[in-house]
Amino acid sequence: MDAMEPELSRRFDGKKYMWDGVLYASEAEARAKEDSCAKDGFETRVLEHEGGHLVYTRRAVTGAVKAEGQ
């Protein structure tokens, strides 16, 4: 039986996050990626998954976007 594939997207606190596509062997590796993403303006979540760790990210919203023509 194959290992269960992680979900490509998940919701946390009503916000959609996308998996970065990597299963990290250690929590330290996942946290390093999390820090890097946070510095680039992403909100992040780290989860355990089948002995490894996953990083989910979403672009942090910094302000309202004005619709074209307004």
Query: What is the per-residue pLDDT across 45-56, written as a single tens digit (0 to 9) for each?
Result: 999 999 999 999
Which residues span the domain enclosing 48? 10-59
**pLDDT for the residue numbered 63:** 66
Residue 23 lies in a domain: yes
* Residue 35 counted as domain residue: yes
pLDDT at residue number 67 = 64
Is 17 a domain residue? yes
Task: Look at residue 50 and give its three-state secondary structure.
Answer: coil
In terms of Cβ atoms closer than 10 Å to its own Cβ (0-12, 13-18, 19+), residue 47 is: middle
64 falls within a domain: no
Alpha helices in the chain (DSSP H): 27-39
Residue 5 forms part of a structural domain = no
Average pLDDT for runs of 10 along the chain of length 70: 80 96 97 96 95 94 64
